[in-house]
Amino acid sequence: MTHELDGKYQVSSTSSYQGPLEKKSDGQTEIVDGKTMRRDAANCLWTSTFTVLNENEVEMISVADASEADTDFMLTAPDGSPTREPVTYKAILKLQRKDDKIQMSGQVEYDNNITLLTMRKIG
């Protein structure tokens, strides 16, 4: 069964985070049946689900698991402390479509930080 968002996407983000931990989550991913699983540049495993809420919104739930990530990489826990434990991020993304082009964008708010996320379909 195919999902209306299935395809390859370029993931890019900008964050208000000013701490010592380098973020390496940008890259490419592929949505299959509304789900994606990928490893980022730090070898952190991202597992995400995408649920279309209406013609203009998508709910994204992403779990980042740094347990097997590079030894010098950590995520930020809800209290702001460094962690290698899984962290869940949730957001409602704006959905824009034109012909076969799709873009999802929005804000992920976590630990007093805001990450602007854009996912653009590339294939």
Over the stretch 75-98, which tens digit does the pLDDT of each residue have? 888 787 889 999 999 999 999 999
Instruction: Look at residue 50 and tell me if it is in a domain.
Output: yes
Number of domains composing the chain: 1
Is the pLDDT reported for residue 1 higher than 70?
A: no
Question: Which residue shows structure tokens 């699983």?
Answer: 37
Nearest CA-CA partner of 76 in 52, 102, 108: 108
Give the separation between CA 62 and CA 42, rounded to whole angstroms: 16
Is residue 2 included in any domain, yes or no? no
Q: Decide which of 95 and 99 is more confident.
A: 95
Give a yes or no: residue 22 inside a domain. yes
Is residue 27 a part of any domain in this protein?
yes
Q: Higher pLDDT residue, 103 or 22?
A: 103
Q: Please list, residue by residue across 25-46, b when 16 or more beta carbons sit within 10 angstroms of its beta carbon and e when fewer do.
A: beeebebeebebebebebebbb
pTM of the model: 0.87
Distances (CA, A) of 106 to 2, 90, 91: 24, 11, 7
Domain containing residue 79: CATH number? 2.40.128
Segment (H or E) for 101: strand 101-110
What pLDDT does 15 receive? 81
39: in domain? yes
Give percent above pLDDT 90 in the chain: 62
Confidence of residue 19 (pLDDT cuts 50, 70, 90): low
Whole-number pLDDT of residue 2: 60
With respect to residue 34, please indicate whether it lies within any of the assigned structural domains: yes
Query: Does the residue 1 lie in any domain?
Result: no
3-state helix, strand, coil in the chain (%, to 5): 0, 60, 40
**What's the rounded mean pLDDT across residues 2-20?**
82
Mean pLDDT across the chain: 89
Q: Which domain holds residue 100?
A: 7-121
Question: What separation in angstroms does the CA of 19 have from each of 16, 26, 32, 56, 110?
Answer: 9, 18, 34, 33, 13
Percent of the chain with pLDDT over 70: 93
Check pLDDT > 90 for residue 104: yes
